[in-house]
Amino acid sequence: MEVLLQLGLLALGFVLLVKGADWFVEGASRLAERFGIPQLVIGLTIVAMGTSLPEAAVSVSAALKGSAEITIGNIVGSNILNVLLILGLTAVITPVAVQKSTVRYEIPYVIFVSAVLWALGSTEDHLLRFSDGLILWGLMFLYLAYLLGMAKKGAPLPEEGDTREEKPMPVWKMLLLIVLGGVMIVLGSDLAVDAATELALIFGMSERLIGLTIVAFGTSLPELVTSVTAAIKGKADIAVGNIVGSNIFNILFVVGTSALITPVEYAPDFFVDSAACIASAVLLWLCVVKNKRLGRLGGAVMLACYGGYFAYLIR
């Protein structure tokens, strides 16, 4: 009975996180637009970081509660899952074209920042401190500057893809969406972290394993639904850019913010997971570097690799 209760609370937490992030981003984007902030800037900041809001809320909440293994496990696990499972599944459904800039700059950058995270966590005390958070935020602003430069050249951005016409929205509704979204994100992250911790205790599993699997899957649901739906509709060309951009923000924005708020422990057990995270990004680059597309064979290899990694986790 206790297990079912905690699973229900975990699911409710994920629903609040995903819907809260959606409302928060919509309200904040519309409000920024109303005050004359260019769509380009809104897309590069609010919308781009919005995809990482579920991960951010869970990771910061877990860090503040002393559950650092959920903080790091959520991000590393999400990044592995995003590439191997989500992109693998998307490519198996339909081959995915990849922008030249994604192959040349963005995938190498996600490999680089994944290695930076591993290096920062490899210090003697295995703690990510305020200074490490500053480094990660500095790299994030460098990435934002790159995106801004690409946008000025007219190149498509990783976060683009939603071109629907938007109806005018009253300011009170924008503010309501921001407030409700923010409250739902906080409540959802609290529920998810508490339930995940309780499940770890009930099943005798480590918080690391819970973070790398259940929590990572839950916070990656928006990317999973978006990418698979786009693939089914034959509009999967934005999938790789979206996932790579999300992974970059997960490390730089989410872990960086967590480290700025409170020291985050980077347990030695995560070294293998970080290696898997770096290897998954390298595999993605190897699959797309020649033909600028992720084919079904590459997708199948990625799914097989995720199966192997998952088997390693639950051994």
Kindly indicate the confidence band of residue 154, based on its pLDDT and cuts at 50, 70 and 90: low
71-80, 132-141, 185-194: which range is least confident on average? 185-194
**pLDDT for res 260:** 92
Q: Which carries the bigger pLDDT value, residue 159 or residue 230?
A: 230
Distance CA(190)–CA(181), nearest Å, equals 14
Mean of all residue pLDDT scores within the chain = 84
**In 176-200, which positions are buried (b, 16+ CB within 10 angstroms) versus exposed (e)?**
ebbeebbebbbbbbbbbbbbbbbbb
**pLDDT for res 166:** 58
Kindly indicate the confidence band of residue 314, based on its pLDDT and cuts at 50, 70 and 90: confident
31-40, 72-81, 201-210: which range is least confident on average? 31-40
> CB–CB of 85/313 below 8 Å?
no
Per the structure, the count of domains in the chain is 1
Hey, how many other C-beta atoms are within 10 angstroms of the C-beta on 45? 17
The token pair that represents 41 in the structure block: 């800037």
Domain span at 241: 2-314
Residues above pLDDT 90, as percent of the chain = 30
In tens, the pLDDT along 234-267 reads: 766 677 877 888 899 999 998 999 999 988 888 8
What's the mean pLDDT in 102-120? 94
Asked whether the predicted pLDDT for residue 107 surpasses 80, the reply is yes
CATH of the domain at 62: 1.20.1420.30
Asked whether the predicted pLDDT for residue 157 surpasses 80, the reply is no
**pLDDT for res 30:** 83
**pLDDT for res 160:** 47
In tens, the pLDDT along 263-313 reads: 888 888 889 999 999 999 999 999 999 888 999 999 999 999 999 999 998
**pLDDT for res 279:** 96
Sign of CA pseudo-dihedral 272, 109, 301, 53:
positive
